[in-house]
Amino acid sequence: MAANAPAISVQGLCKSLGGRPVIENFSIDVPAGHVFGFLGPNGSGKTTTIRMLCGLLTPDAGSGRCLGYDVIAESAAIKREVGYMPQRFGLYEDLSIRENLSFVAQLYGVPAPRRRVEETLERLGLAARARQLAGQLSGGWKQRLALAACLLHTPRLLLLDEPTAGVDPKARREFWDQIHDLAADGMTVLVSTHYMDEAERCHQVGYLAGGRLLIHGGVDEVLDRSGLVTFAVAGPELEALAARLRGRPGVEMTAAFGASLHVSGTDAALLERSIAPFRADPKFRWSTTRPTLEDVFIHTLAEAGVTNS
């Protein structure tokens, strides 16, 4: 791979499964050493895209390179330099942590496997639990073991398919600290997630829906490009307020956020006029706010006419 070349650069990738288009005209560049977050509804094509990029699925059309290799003609070479962590835990629950890692190291033909396993145990904080059976681990520790298995062969690209689903917040934060440490060392990471706080920790994000990449870029760039004007309103009976606001001119979206309601639209003047009567009500406290990624993605889905099914 040439110096300063993107770790991933693909154009026009398409894939159908069972006669149904799953990915259409997918194009993206991901710089080396970046963390790229894939977001989107279930069935949007995130997993299929990840599998095409790591050589597990062959695109029906399109072209590009991953780690300097052609994604179609050199998929076997890509697989050797990629660590892939699927959604489901795939290691042996009746083996210990060390036994699982030793087995994986042998499968990959890792040089000096014993030393490499011990280094990985230390790096991922697993050394003290090395003799524990994988089946006895909590979700967070299983996730850490799965990540360790992905790193044994020193990959240049890490592909993580919803790695923190069902994991508690503390384990999720620790996992993301590890991901950023890896990226700081030069590893490129692609991760699919449903969590907006995780997306905000990525260098770039992309939103897939209906097999299409609807939006991508840095988080600030995505928020600025959306054109959304958003107000936050606090007070009593917010559900009733949302019902009254929906359908008014300029009100394109209302969404509850904890104890407040976000009211958004792209025509600032029209939105201001529609909310003006409600802003005069003293029981509500209004303020302007920056749209969230969730605001932007819901708005993007609506604009694209894609339903979350």
269-308 residues labelled b (16+ CB within 10 A) or e (exposed): ebbeebbeebeeeeebebeebebbbebbbbbbbeeeebee
- Residues 174-214: tens digit of each pLDDT: 889 999 999 999 999 999 988 888 888 999 999 998 899 99
Helix (H) or strand (E) holding 203: none
Helix (H) or strand (E) holding 45: none
**Domains parsed from the chain with CATH numbers:** 8-222 (3.40.50.300), 227-290 (3.30.70)
pLDDT of residue 86 exceeding 90, the answer is no
Rounded Cα gap, residues 216 and 28, in angstroms? 9
Q: Which amino acid is at 254?
A: T
Q: What is the pLDDT of residue 171?
A: 84
Q: Which residue has the tokens 């977050």?
A: 37
Please provide the average confidence, as pLDDT, over all residues in the chain: 90
pLDDT band at 2 (very low <50, low <70, confident <90, very high): low
Q: Are 187 and 212 in contact (CB under 8 A)?
A: no
**Between residues 165 and 188, the one the model is more confident about:** 188
Q: What is the pLDDT of residue 306?
A: 63
pTM: 0.85
